[in-house]
Structure 1
Amino acid sequence: MRVSGFTFLRNGVLLGYPFIESIRSVLPICDEFVVAVGQSDDGTRKQIEAIGSDKIRIIDTQWNEAMQDRGYVYAQQKMIAHFNCSGDWAFYLEGDEVLHEDDLDSILASMQRHLDDPQVEALVFDYHHFYGSPEWLAVSPGWYRRAPRIIRNSIRSYSPDGLFFVVMDRNKQGRYPRAALANAPIYHYGHVRSSERMREKINQVSRYWGHQPPKFEGYAIDPQALARFQGTHPSVMVDWLARDAQQSFVPDPDYLPTRRELKHRRAMRLERWFGLELSKKHYKLVRD
């Protein structure tokens, strides 16, 4: 079994991504790791080179600045990296997503177990979405609780944005992949970067979604959408969390939820009452 990891990056340092930690976390279970690196102003490429692994292959790319439709420029960059993968499985990690060292064996075992099962086209991970500081998790159904991050590399698939995969078994009609559980979580740190870095990130990326950047004055969220994190962080994240993560976040008990957050409150009540799971799913689960 051959495993290809892949991602895309641009100005990862300036925008506060723990991309070095992300790459290092997955390298032990990859035979190669492909990185599409856009033209950056902050030494992103040099930092990737400094990892010093012969598994890493960098592809220099040019972003289409005219592409400002619903984040599709991210899909383009993701696909450049994906289409250069040569493994049986292609493992996509975004620059703020990290694996825990304790889960690597389980992930490898899941890939091996489903390697010869053509019904399984992708592997789905549980998610720890950290919010505000490393002590808090966003848990409402407004945050996807599971997502496919490993895709079989011998099927026709593409990515309409940076988040999910679409399988094209017909020329004009796509569908979400059939999936099994990876039996491991992904640790998502995009919403605990420092407020300064988050503000810069919002200002820079909003144009690719075709709108003006919203004002960011600090982390704010419905307290009912949060839960305390009870586990341990990946060891590769220790220094980043101490140096670059926001540390001072405390949920505001007087916070006024938005209309969307009130909708999520109602969904959480339905989940508790009826044992439902109402978060968005970009896959069809066919195996546990």
Structure 2
Amino acid sequence: MSGFTFIRNALKYDFPIRECVESMLPLVDELVINVGKSEDETDELIEKLRALSPKIRIVRSVWDDGKTDRGLVLSEQTNIALDACEGRWALYLQADEALHEDEHAAIRAAVEAADRESDPPEGLRLRYLHFYGGYSLVQRPWNWYPSEIRVVRRASGARSYGDAQTFRGAPDHRELRTRLLDAHVFHYGHARAPELMQRKIRYFHRFWHGDEHGIDVAGAYDLEWENLVWYWGTHPKPYAARVEAGRAWSPAPASAAKESGWDDVLIYASTAREPLARALEKLIREHRPKARVWIARPREAGLPRELDPSHAAFVDLEAEERGLFRLAAKWLQLRRGYRVTLADVPTGALSGFRARLYDRVSWSCHQTADQGFQVPSHERAKQLGRWLGIDC
């Protein structure tokens, strides 16, 4: 299996190409890097990488800066690297993408299994983790693609398509026959310090709209909490230094919590969700030992006598289970005066209207749940804790 990628101006725009390459190398038999003529020391950086591994081959190109339509120059550069590959299968990552070493074996096994089939798929899709604002949050809306083709069978004639997000069959641009793997691409394109991110956004707009696009990028990196999920796992080892440096500007749970803090917590949970309620209760007591925690059942009337909603958080573990009328009625009854209201939504079955009845929503999957990421069930209590401002 070959690996392939392309890069230009890596240092000028802080593309983590070294981390990308190091995350691929153990998995592939060769790695082709298409290095575009750059305005910085990208050449020297890639040469240093080649000196560390005989697997790396370099091809060189000069970008056509006159191509500023639909990002087509990006697929053109991708295909230059693909054409230089020699393996029967080719694994593709962009310079701001990486693979986790814990999933290398699964990816390799899937490729080897497909290679033995009489009618193998033309491509393999990986689930995506789109980090945003730093290294602690991922995007969940449908338009942040849940999965994408990142391994292609070279005999299929697959070509990078459009702005290089995906691959299509040549010459008719047909969709490839693909298979979804339970492995992830870590996409760090929006995990940059704010000032670097604005510079990168401004640069990349030129590939769609030309140099004089005049697009305001000042608010392009704002956090929309309703679209975000706390990342629950570890990062690829090559990213260790970047993740550590990014702690200074990556969003923390305290920044997502409502400005006014809470002293106590009321957890609304049925018997079926008691294990999650108890896990959250334990977490709260560990991190906020002075907080009082109550667990209320859906059919119980009234509130604990000692509870003062004006100093408490309300956590609803039943938000997905109620129809709209019951949701609104219960919300109106319980919402009065709480410092913060939080809904747990494990399957994504909560409409935008219903989600707006809460200050925060703890989503546990990509909006396209069957194609994208899933938060492990054992991490849900920590997810809820983070939305309450607990750094856990």
TM-score band by shorter chain is 0.7 to 0.9
Q: How does 1:206-285 map onto structure 2 within 5 Å?
A: 206-210=205-209, 211-217=213-219, 219-243=221-245, 247-249=249-251, 250-251=255-256, 272=349, 278=368
Cα separation, 2, equivalents of 1:45 and 1:213: 30
Q: May I ask how many residue pairs the two structures share in their alignment?
A: 263
Q: How does 1:125-274 map onto structure 2 within 5 Å?
A: 125-160=126-161, 161-168=163-170, 171=171, 173-210=172-209, 211-217=213-219, 219-243=221-245, 247-249=249-251, 250-251=255-256, 272=349
Corresponding letter in the other structure for 2:125: V
1:46 deviates by 1.3
Partner secondary structure for residue 179 of structure 2 = strand
Corresponding letter in the other structure for 1:207: R
1:19 deviates by 1.0
Corresponding letter in the other structure for 1:78: T
Corresponding letter in the other structure for 2:23: S
Cα separation, 2, equivalents of 1:80 and 1:253: 49
Cα separation, 2, equivalents of 1:92 and 1:238: 22
Partner secondary structure for residue 150 of structure 1 = strand
1:190 deviates by 0.9
Partner secondary structure for residue 134 of structure 1 = coil
Partner secondary structure for residue 32 of structure 2 = strand
User: Which of the pair has the greater relative contact order for Cα pairs under 8 Å at 6+ separation?
Assistant: 1
Structure 2 portions without partners, runs of 5+: 260-344, 352-364, 372-392
Partner of 1:285: none
1:103 deviates by 0.8
Partner of 1:259: none
Could you say if the C-alpha distance between residues 144 and 245 of structure 1 is closer, same or farther in structure 2, counting changes exceeding 3 Å?
farther
Partner secondary structure for residue 272 of structure 1 = coil
Q: Which has the larger displacement, 115-124 or 212-221? A: 212-221
1:159 deviates by 1.7
TM-score, normalization: structure 2? Answer: 0.62
Corresponding letter in the other structure for 1:144: Y
Q: How much identity, in percent, do the aligned residues show?
A: 33
1:242 deviates by 2.3
1:213 deviates by 3.8
Could you say if the C-alpha distance between residues 68 and 56 of structure 1 is closer, same or farther in structure 2, counting changes exceeding 3 Å?
same
Cα separation, 2, equivalents of 1:123 and 1:103: 14
> Segments of 4+ in structure 1 off by > 6 A?
none
TM-score, normalization: structure 1? Answer: 0.83
Corresponding letter in the other structure for 1:199: Q
Cα separation, 1, equivalents of 2:60 and 2:257: 43
Partner secondary structure for residue 175 of structure 1 = coil
Q: Which has the larger displacement, 224-233 or 156-165? A: 156-165
Q: Give the root-mean-square deviation of aligned CA atoms.
A: 2.7
Query: Is contact 1:16-1:198 (8 Å) kept?
Result: no
1:222 deviates by 2.1
1:218 deviates by 6.5
1:203 deviates by 2.1
**Deviation digits for residues 204-247 of structure 1, max 9, x if unmatched?**
22111013343235731321110111111111111022236772
Query: Is contact 1:193-1:246 (8 Å) kept?
Result: no
1:20 deviates by 0.3
Partner of 1:102: 102
Cα separation, 2, equivalents of 1:252 and 1:206: 33
Q: Which has the larger displacement, 29-38 or 41-50? A: 41-50
Corresponding letter in the other structure for 1:38: G
1:8 deviates by 0.7
Cα separation, 2, equivalents of 1:64 and 1:56: 25
Cα separation, 2, equivalents of 1:22 and 1:40: 18
Cα separation, 2, equivalents of 1:246 and 1:7: 30
Structure 1 portions without partners, runs of 5+: 255-267, 282-288
Query: Is contact 1:16-1:194 (8 Å) kept?
Result: no
Could you say if the C-alpha distance between residues 96 and 204 of structure 1 is closer, same or farther in structure 2, counting changes exceeding 3 Å?
same
Query: Is contact 1:110-1:183 (8 Å) kept?
Result: no
